[in-house]
């Protein structure tokens, strides 16, 4: 089932979400929610979706970054962004336990602020501990675009959005991003728009 994605201004996007217990994770209700969130993320389409974005203040997110989402990028852009396909997985009660300095800046968007994009600095590497949909514990070390997605989704679970970290002068409509900026190096965009 496709769920409604709430937009900026919905209070739930600004509230810290609560963790789930192992019993709750295995409940029919949460298993159904996970399936619906996967359907909703794919339908949007997006590479991640957090429960607050569908109006539920729970520490749950789904992530999937399939290879065919990267077809518009040339090999150099893929390498710069550290793009690698990420299979579908579920993130419950995640914690970032280690991160590198927030350095690389790339354009980021959000399904809850649809139609816009801005440059956002993010850590190149993060270590995350979380539970999966079976309440099994995991620890992953991620880098590049996957690390960026993890930071974006985990932000949602703490009531934070990319606009809290963005380089505000680079905020633009997706339409204008595609029209004017998509093939221009980040450093030049920052120089022309100002930081």
Residue nearest Zn ion, Cβ-based: 110
Q: 133: helix, coil or strand?
A: coil
Shortest Å, Cβ 128 to Zn ion = 17
Binding window for Zn ion (CB under 5 A); candidates: 65-73, 87-95, 108-116, 142-150? 108-116
Taking CB under 5 A as the binding criterion, the range among 1-9, 58-66, 102-110, 184-192 that sits at the site for Zn ion is: 102-110
Instruction: Give the residue with the Cβ less far from Zn ion, 24 or 36.
Output: 36
91 is a site residue for Zn ion (CB under 5 A)? no
110 binds Zn ion (CB under 5 A): yes
Place of tokens 């429960």: 51
Run of H or E residues at 42:
helix 28-43
Distances (CA, A) of 146 to 127, 138, 149: 11, 16, 5
Q: Could you tell me the two tokens for 147?
A: 């690390």
Residue 153 is among the residues annotated as catalytic for this protein: yes
Which among 72, 141, 153, 188 is annotated as catalytic? 153
- 68, 78, 178 from 72: Cα distances, Å: 9, 10, 11
Tokens 């139609």, located at residue: 115
For residue 58, the minimal CB distance to Zn ion (Å) is 15
Token digits of residue 163 = 């606009």
Distance in Å, CB of 108 to Zn ion, minimum? 8
- The pair of structure tokens assigned to 175 is 């339409």
Residue closer to Zn ion (CB basis): 137 or 152? 152
Interatomic CA distance for residues 7 and 177, integer angstroms: 20
Nearest to 134 by CA among 12, 22, 16, 8: 22
Q: Applying CB under 5 A, does 154 fall inside the site for Zn ion?
A: no
Site stretch for Zn ion (CB under 5 A), options 12-20, 58-66, 109-117, 119-127: 109-117
Q: CB of residue 93 vs Zn ion: minimum separation in angstroms?
A: 18
Catalytic residues: 153
**Chain residues in the site for Zn ion (CB under 5 A):** 110
């Amino acid at each position: 089932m496709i769920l409604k994605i709430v937009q900026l201004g919905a209070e739930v996007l600004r509230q810290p979400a609560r963790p789930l217990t192992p019993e709750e994770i295995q409940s029919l209700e949460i298993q159904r929610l996970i399936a619906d969130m996967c359907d909703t993320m794919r339908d949007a389409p997006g590479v991640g979706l957090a429960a607050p974005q569908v109006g539920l203040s729970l520490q749950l997110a789904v992530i999937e970054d399939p290879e065919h989402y990267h077809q518009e990028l040339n090999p150099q852009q893929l390498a710069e962004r550290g793009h690698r396909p990420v299979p579908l997985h579920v993130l419950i009660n995640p914690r970032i336990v280690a991160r590198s300095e927030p350095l690389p800046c790339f354009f980021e968007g959000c399904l809850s602020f649809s139609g816009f994009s801005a440059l956002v600095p993010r850590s190149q590497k993060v270590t995350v501990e979380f539970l999966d949909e079976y309440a099994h514990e995991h620890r992953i070390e991620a880098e590049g675009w996957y690390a960026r997605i993890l930071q974006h989704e985990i932000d949602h679970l703490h009531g934070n959005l990319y606009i809290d970290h963005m380089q505000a002068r680079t905020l633009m409509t997706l339409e204008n991003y595609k029209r004017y900026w998509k093939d221009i190096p980040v450093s030049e965009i920052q120089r022309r728009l100002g930081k």
